[in-house]
Amino acid sequence: MTILSAPPLATRRDALSGVRTRRIFALALDLLLVGVLVAVLWTALSIATLGLFWFFGPPLFPLVAFFYNGLSVSGAKMGTPGMRAMDLEMRREDSGARVPFIDAAAHAVLFYLSWFCPPVFLVSLVDAQKRCLHDMLVGVVVVRRL
């Protein structure tokens, strides 16, 4: 019989306090920032291509969101601007280390796919570490900034 231990970050008393609420506000801020980035890129590329970009532009939002999440979470600050504003960071569940780009980007893809079945977000209500299903699949935990 093996005993599963919690990740080292979850042992801090306040590491998980208020994480769900903070994640919701961080998401709202990040969606706003991604929307602004997409609008600026859309306008610039539409002007640069004399409107031809409109035929290829629809996948721009998922593409920007993919790199936005992947680059910001795997960066030195370990979180998107919204997460940093809400005093959150994302770490590897097993070691507490920084999340690699591919895992952070996969996390974003799984998160956006989760919107097709919203009840999967309820998993965080029964998980002791307040993780969503996409967090578990990628092997990350979102905690309060150290």
pLDDT tens for 12-23 read 667 777 888 999
Handedness of CA 113, 115, 120, 124 (dihedral sign): positive
Pairwise CA distance, residues 42 & 22, whole Å = 30
* DSSP 8-state secondary structure symbol assigned to residue 76: T
Identify the residue whose tokens are 């919701």. 24
How many other β-carbons are positioned within 10 Å of the β-carbon of residue 131? 21
Contact call for residues 45 and 53 (beta carbons, < 8 A): yes
Single pTM value for the model: 0.82
Strand partners, 144: 88
> For the chain, which residues make up each domain, given as ranges?
16-144
Classify residue 89 as exposed, middle or buried by CB count within 10 Å of its CB (0-12, 13-18, 19+): buried
Pairwise CA distance, residues 48 & 137, whole Å = 40
How many other β-carbons are positioned within 10 Å of the β-carbon of residue 40? 11
Q: Give residue-wise pLDDT tens across range 94-129.
A: 888 899 999 999 999 999 999 999 998 889 889 888
Q: Give residue-wise pLDDT tens across range 42-99.
A: 999 999 988 888 887 788 899 999 999 999 999 988 899 999 999 999 999 888 889 9
